[in-house]
């Protein structure tokens, strides 16, 4: 009888643990913010105005360093649209490596020389890249630029390599159903032009190893079920104010949950089913971790050491986006940010190697007081970046004090 009771208790505890992992807590983050009204009072008074969403994941390790996860949500709504800006570059970088692995062509690696041609209106060629060590473009070089300083052209070239259909189909296959990536960035990409992606060739030791023709996607993507697609009271088009809401229905979209879980998929592939993992090699994982985590001054090719635009805080919004404190050497942030149309987003895994702290944190805030889009007037410095920096700091401070049964071994994420 005692054995039966023991088994029942054990099963109950397992069920409770599973429920905790799969059912997000929706109160904790709100309570954490309420405790610091001096920092978050303005946001808490009107969170609808600022369209705030937050996901925080606690990570606990067992005696074998196997992680389990518990999510905490604040105002998370996958049906409520926000413009994802540069965060959509993150899955593009991952899938570019997966596509190379799936093609499995001898001599075709991420470092293979690219030659990008044009085959449709608006497309541009690329033959050389002066920021590359080899002076030629490559998938690896574009991923570096995309992750370290959020380079728009680098993302556009990966979008062209992947093709619109492959990019979206692959994300859906892996369970990321609340995602739509359908255009390039900062080149006026819209309408039929978004469906066509450039012809290109790849070379190894001067010989062509892969030739990809002009690609067209017949599939149509829509966002009709999303809320908040019409925003603001006006927008600037060709230097003229249009006095009507801006329509985002044909723009890229990814929910905060999908962003957060793509990051978890990449960081902890062993924690999800094999068919949903990205098809990456161990070398691919290390490559992505490195360039997600390094600072611009630590990158050799491209070399950003002399460019004052790219400070340590440039792409690390959570904890350090307000630029108030330097980033200590023992803290690394593996992340991808976005900033456009008044939206600020960060999707991050934060590690303190000295204090053995690790957690995931993703957040979005919208700051556009005049409700005019494309005028360049947004409250990034006064409201948005301080919010994200303070949010990161209060969660980090909580994690420093949180008791864990087992100290995590974080060696996998040490950057060489």
Classify residue 181 as exposed, middle or buried by CB count within 10 Å of its CB (0-12, 13-18, 19+): buried
In a domain, 164, yes or no: yes
Domain membership of residue 2 (yes or no) is: no
Q: Which residue's structure tokens are 């949010």?
A: 391
pLDDT at 224: 79
| Cα 126 to Cα 137: distance, rounded to the nearest angstrom | 8
Q: How far from 215 is each of 161, 203, 327, CA to CA, in Å?
A: 9, 20, 43
Ranges of residues in the chain whose predicted pLDDT is under 70:
1-22
Q: What is the dihedral of CA 43, 44, 45, 51, to 10 degrees?
A: 60
Structural domain including 78 reads 25-413
- Phi/psi at 164 (5° precision): -60, -45
Residue 17's pLDDT is 43
Residue 12 lies in a domain: no
Residue 1 has a pLDDT of 52
pLDDT at 22: 63
CATH number at residue 320: 3.40.710.10
Is residue 5 domain-resident? no
4 in a domain, yes or no? Answer: no
pTM of the model: 0.93
Q: What is the pLDDT of residue 306?
A: 86
How confident is the model at residue 21, as a pLDDT? 52
Residue 380 lies in a domain: yes
30 located within any domain? yes
| Start-to-end Cα distance in the chain | 55
Q: Cα(151)–Cα(53) distance, rounded to whole angstroms?
A: 25
Helices 282-293, 256-267: inter-axial angle, 10-degree rounding: 120
Q: Does 266 fall in a domain?
A: yes
For the chain, what is the domain count? 1
Which pLDDT score, from 0 to 100, does residue 10 have?
44
- What's the CA gap between 44 and 202, in Å, rounded? 52
């Amino acid at each position: 009888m005692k054995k039966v009771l023991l088994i029942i208790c054990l099963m109950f505890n397992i069920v409770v643990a599973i429920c905790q992992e799969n059912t997000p807590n929706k109160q904790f983050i709100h309570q954490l913010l309420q405790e610091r009204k001096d920092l978050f009072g303005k946001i808490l008074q009107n969170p609808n105005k600022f369209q705030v969403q937050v996901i925080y994941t606690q990570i606990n390790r067992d005696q074998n360093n196997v992680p389990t996860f518990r999510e905490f949500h604040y105002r998370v709504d996958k049906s409520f649209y926000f413009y994802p800006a540069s965060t959509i570059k993150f899955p593009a970088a991952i899938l570019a490596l997966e596509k190379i692995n799936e093609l499995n062509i001898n001599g075709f690696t991420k470092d293979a020389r690219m030659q990008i041609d044009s085959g449709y209106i608006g497309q541009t060629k690329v033959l050389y890249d002066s920021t590359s060590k080899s002076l030629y473009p490559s998938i690896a070089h574009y991923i570096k630029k995309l992750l370290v300083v959020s380079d728009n052209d680098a993302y556009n070239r990966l979008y062209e390599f992947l093709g619109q259909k492959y990019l979206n189909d692959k994300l859906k296959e892996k369970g990321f159903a609340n995602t739509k990536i359908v255009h390039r960035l900062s080149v006026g990409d819209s309408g039929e032009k978004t469906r066509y992606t450039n012809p290109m060739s790849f070379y190894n030791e001067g010989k062509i190893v892969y030739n990809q023709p002009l690609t067209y996607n017949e599939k149509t993507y829509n966002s009709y079920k999303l809320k908040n697609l019409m925003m603001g009271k006006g927008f600037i088009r060709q230097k003229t104010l249009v006095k009507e809401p801006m329509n985002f229905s044909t723009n890229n979209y990814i929910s905060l949950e999908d962003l957060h879980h793509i990051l978890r998929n990449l960081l902890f592939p062993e924690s999800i089913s094999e068919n949903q993992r990205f098809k990456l090699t161990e070398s691919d994982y290390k490559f992505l971790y490195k360039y997600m985590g390094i600072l611009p001054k630590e990158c050799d090719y491209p070399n950003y050491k002399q460019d004052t635009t790219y400070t340590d805080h440039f792409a690390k919004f959570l904890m350090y986006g307000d630029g108030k404190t330097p980033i200590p050497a023992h803290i690394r942030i593996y992340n991808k940010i976005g900033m456009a149309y008044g939206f600020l987003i960060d999707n991050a895994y934060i590690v303190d190697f000295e204090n053995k702290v690790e957690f995931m944190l993703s957040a979005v805030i919208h700051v556009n007081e005049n409700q005019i889009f494309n005028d360049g007037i947004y409250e990034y410095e006064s409201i948005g970046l301080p919010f994200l920096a303070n949010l990161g700091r209060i969660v980090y401070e909580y994690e420093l004090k949180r008791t864990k049964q087992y100290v995590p071994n974080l060696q996998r994420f040490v950057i060489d």
